[in-house]
Amino acid sequence: MRYLVLFLALAGCVSTVPGNPVPQAARLSAEVLTLTLSDGTVCRANWAASPVGRMETCGPGYGYAVRVIDNPNILRQIWTELTTALGAEGVVAPLAEVVITDPAGVDRVFASPPPVKE
């Protein structure tokens, strides 16, 4: 009986096999989607060439879809036009919604750039 209790106690200490890493953040540059997973893995895809696709080499593989918001607020429009006029085209990341689909088919939605926290 004492060995059974010891065995059960040790069995409780052994961690189970972890599941797939969970998407933690998705950010866009002018051309690249950067996905950060819960295990620290960072994956990249050229979303400008393909706004919908799959990151096959990213862990078990994650799907993505980028929907650019074409008409952001007026202040963002002015800032983007100003940076473009100064020769810094592409410096301001596009405003977009990024949907990441994990291998189980669960969608996680991110805003890029991420919202400002108060």
* Dihedral over alpha carbons 25, 27, 33, 37 (to 10 degrees): -10
Q: Which residues of the chain have pLDDT under 70?
A: 1-18, 71-73, 75-77, 79-80, 83-84, 88-93, 114-118
- Residue 98 contacts residue 66 (beta carbons within 8 Å): yes
Tens digit of each residue's pLDDT (9 = 90 or more) over 56-84: 989 889 999 999 887 666 766 676 677 66
Whether the model pTM is above 0.85: no
pLDDT at 35: 96
Domain locations along the chain: 19-112
